[in-house]
């Protein structure tokens, strides 16, 4: 499961940052998740709970911020909103579209102690 390894990556970052920013517990994590990242949110929450167990982020609240998909159409040159990967350009119906946002998964903010 893809979400499980994403959460493992997040916990790894939290543990690295704990040394740098000197905190010992993470109370909440705001994660930016692009809608084109192919992440199942339910499964992400479930994985987060499982992966953080026994770590400094155990019991932390997970706040998910959805990032809309955007792409530049290489046919008409417009930047368009893209809700599904591999959809044609909503303006001209053309291809290809170069995704400019909506694929990210990153930690936006932390609440720590
Ligand atoms: Zn277009």
Q: Render pLDDT for 2-24 as a digit per residue (tens, 0 to 9).
A: 999 999 999 999 999 999 999 99
What does the pLDDT average to over 64-74?
96
Average pLDDT over residues 68-79: 96
Task: Report cis status (omega within 30 of 0) of the bond before 96.
Answer: yes
Known binding site for Ni(2+): residues? 2
- Give 88 Cα–ligand 1 centroid separation in angstroms: 8
Distance 72 CA to ligand 1 centre (A): 8
Span 29-45, average pLDDT = 95
Ion ligand 1 neighbours (CB, 5 A) are 73, 75-76, 89, 91-92, 94
Q: For residue 1, what pLDDT is reported?
A: 63
Show the beta-strand stretches assigned E in 19-69: 26-34, 61-67
Dist. CA 73 → ligand 1 center (Å): 5
Q: What is the CATH number of domain 2-112?
A: 3.30.2320.80
Judged against a pLDDT cut of 90, whether residue 82 lies above it is answered with yes
How confident is the model over 46-61, as pLDDT tens digits? 999 999 999 999 999 9
Is a pLDDT exceeding 90 seen at residue 43?
A: yes
- 64 phi, psi to nearest 5 deg: -105, 125
């Amino acid at each position: 499961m893809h979400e499980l390894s994403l959460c493992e990556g997040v916990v790894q970052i939290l543990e690295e940052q704990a040394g740098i920013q000197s905190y010992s517990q993470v109370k909440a994590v705001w994660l930016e998740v692009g809608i084109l990242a192919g992440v199942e949110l339910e499964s992400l929450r479930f994985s987060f709970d499982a992966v953080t167990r026994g770590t400094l982020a155990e019991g932390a609240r997970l706040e998910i911020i959805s990032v809309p998909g955007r792409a530049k159409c290489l046919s008409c040159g417009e930047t368009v909103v893209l809700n599904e990967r591999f959809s044609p350009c909503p303006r001209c119906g053309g291809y290809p579209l170069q995704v400019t946002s909506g694929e990210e998964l990153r930690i936006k903010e932390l609440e720590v102690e």
